[in-house]
Structure 1
Amino acid sequence: MTERIDVEFPSGSQTCRGWLYRPDGPGPAPVLVMAHGLGAIKEMRLDAFAQRFADAGYAALVFDYRHFGDSTGEPRQLLDITLQRQDWSAAVDFARTLPGVDGSRIVLWGTSFSGGHVIATAAGRTDIAAVIAQCPFTDGLASVLAMNPVTLAKLVPRSLADLLAARRQRPRILVPLAGSPGSLGLMTAPDVLPGYLGLLPDGVPFRNEVTAGVGLMIAAAFPGRSARRVNSPILFCICDTDSVAPAKATVRHARTAPRGELKHYPVGHFDIYVGDAFERAVTDQLDFLRRHVPLP
């Protein structure tokens, strides 16, 4: 039977907390290091993916970033790309120390915003066995151009004000993560509110807000450009009608990866976490793992 235990590890001066899924069977098992997308927490369907990987014989380390979920860090809801990439490095280092885990065979698994993080992280390391980037954020310009112009006009001044507040060491300015079309928020396409908040189980505390400055950080981020420097096998799971991370830009970047594989799904950004799309995606991901990171 798969065992899930609470774990924690240091990142900078804070503590990241998460779950370790230990599979039943002979070890040591390869381990997937997993984290969520834009402002999301591990309870938002990462457990479903991790459980399927563990049932198949793989270990999985699932964590919340600093400032989010169960992890420490003030101010709360601070989303900083550099800090989150540091959390990824700390998680990989921690995974290497886990008993019963093959620290020489680590797989990075990222979805949405963290899909970009795993591309950039793998590009800077030579010790990653494989990468899975699901509906990944790859191109800031493409994501900004996909936004509602009314929303964009509301978001830019808030983002500038928040970055100025951070520079002056004043309280940060927050904006919604998910909102209705035309409202103020980082994601406001028609499928966002039901799709994003629909991933959250009943009774799990969650704040639908984040520091506004990340809006400008997103516009200047192009993690997909790092794909050409990822020498590990990397699977791109692309949602063809993605309203958040446009598929066309992702395909363009994915094709530059030396050992890239592309899988397409005729669904939106949030559909891949549930139902038939989830089943197809996790089946494809397990096939990828068995071919490139086989079990002992």
Structure 2
Amino acid sequence: MTDRLNVTFPSGPDECHAWLYLPEGGGRRPVVVMAHGLGGVREMRLDAYAERFAAAGYACLVFDYRHFGASGGQPRQLLSIRRQLQDWRAAVAYARSRPETDPRRVVLWGTSFGGGHVLATAAQDPAVAAVIAQGLFTDGVASALAMRPDTSVKVMARAVRDMVGARLGRPPVMVATAGPPGSAALMTAADAEPGYLALVPNDVPFSNQVAARFALDILRYRPGRRTAKIACPVLFCVCEHDSVAPARPTLRHARRAPRGEIRLYPDGHFDIYLGEPFERVVTDQLAFLTRHVPIGSAPGEAPRPTTP
């Protein structure tokens, strides 16, 4: 039976809240550090992935970014790329410090915008054992070009208002994270709003908005350019019909990873969290973990023999 603990760890002046999944059995286990994408929180199906990994023997640390979910940070719903990357580094440091985990066998798992964060984090941390990135954001320019021009104008107008207001000490000007086509939202493809909100459990308080100033930063964020610097194995789970993180630039960046493995799925961005698409992708991820970070051995060691 797997234990799930509520834990916290410091990041900057605040604390991130997380779930720590600890599988049965002794010994220090490999640990998968996990976080969501654009405005997402743990309850939006990350528990489904973590439960499968833990059942296979992997510890999992599943955290909320600062300013979101149960984690600290004011103002709420502030999506800062710099702070989220700090949160990833803090989460990895905490995972390595736990007595139940093997600090040499830390795996990064990110989805959507978090998929870009794990690439950026692994490129700077050669001790990471492996990376899994699904439906991953790799290129801010490509994602911006996928947005309708009228939507871009609306979002950027709010972003400028929010940036000016922040300098004057005013509350954030918000923009919807996901909305219908043509609305002022960060994701407005036909499948975005229904697909995004379908991940939110009915009993979880959730705000479908972020501080609009984020839109001014996204064009400069291109974590896919760092794939050539990632030394460890990387599994790229790419959706062929992704309306949020277009597959073409993602594949271009994925092919530059020295130890990259690419899996293609005939699905949209939000499909792989549920049902049969989820089963396909999590099966591939477990197979990747078994190959590269087996339960019974540390990096560079042969797997321990099993008793017949």
Give distance in 1, aligned partners of 2:193 and 2:230. 33
Aligned match of 1:231: 231
Give distance in 2, aligned partners of 1:60 and 1:156. 37
Task: Out of 265-274 and 216-225, give the one that drifted further.
Answer: 216-225
Give distance in 1, aligned partners of 2:221 and 2:87. 18
Aligned match of 2:10: 10
Matched, 1:201 2:201: yes
Give distance in 1, aligned partners of 2:214 and 2:97. 32
Give distance in 1, aligned partners of 2:135 and 2:104. 26
Give distance in 2, aligned partners of 1:166 and 1:81. 17
SS across alignment from 1:237: strand
For structure 1, the 5+ residue unaligned runs are none
Matched, 1:41 2:35: no
Cα drift, residue 89 of structure 1: 0.3
Cα drift, residue 33 of structure 1: 0.4
Structure number with larger C-alpha Rg: 2
What TM-score do you get using the length of structure 1 for normalisation? 0.99
Identity %, equivalent residues? 60
Cα drift, residue 99 of structure 1: 2.1
Alpha-carbon deviations, 1:69-128, whole Å to 9, x = none?
000111000000000000000000000111211111100000000000000000011110
Aligned match of 2:274: 274
Aligned match of 2:284: 284
1:83-122, aligned counterparts within 5 Å?
83-122=83-122
Matched, 1:146 2:177: no
Output the amino acid matched with 2:275: G
1:40-79, aligned counterparts within 5 Å?
40-79=40-79
Task: Out of 94-103 and 65-74, give the one that drifted further.
Answer: 94-103
Output the amino acid matched with 2:166: A
SS across alignment from 1:21: strand
Cα drift, residue 168 of structure 1: 3.1
1:22-37, aligned counterparts within 5 Å?
22-37=22-37
SS across alignment from 2:201: coil
Cα drift, residue 169 of structure 1: 3.0
Output the amino acid matched with 1:122: A
Cα drift, residue 170 of structure 1: 2.5
Give distance in 1, aligned partners of 2:136 and 2:262. 12
SS across alignment from 1:240: strand
Aligned match of 1:162: 162
SS across alignment from 2:199: coil
Aligned match of 2:305: none
Output the amino acid matched with 1:77: Q
Task: Out of 140-149 and 10-19, give the one that drifted further.
Answer: 140-149
For structure 2, the 5+ residue unaligned runs are 297-308
1:208-223, aligned counterparts within 5 Å?
208-223=208-223
Give distance in 1, aligned partners of 2:24 and 2:44. 24
Output the amino acid matched with 2:137: F
Give distance in 1, aligned partners of 2:247 and 2:160. 28
Give distance in 2, aligned partners of 1:126 and 1:221. 21
Cα drift, residue 150 of structure 1: 1.6
Aligned match of 2:173: 173
Moved over 4 A (4+): none
Give distance in 1, aligned partners of 2:277 and 2:99. 33
Cα drift, residue 194 of structure 1: 1.0
Cα drift, residue 213 of structure 1: 1.0
1:246-261, aligned counterparts within 5 Å?
246-261=246-261
Output the amino acid matched with 2:17: R
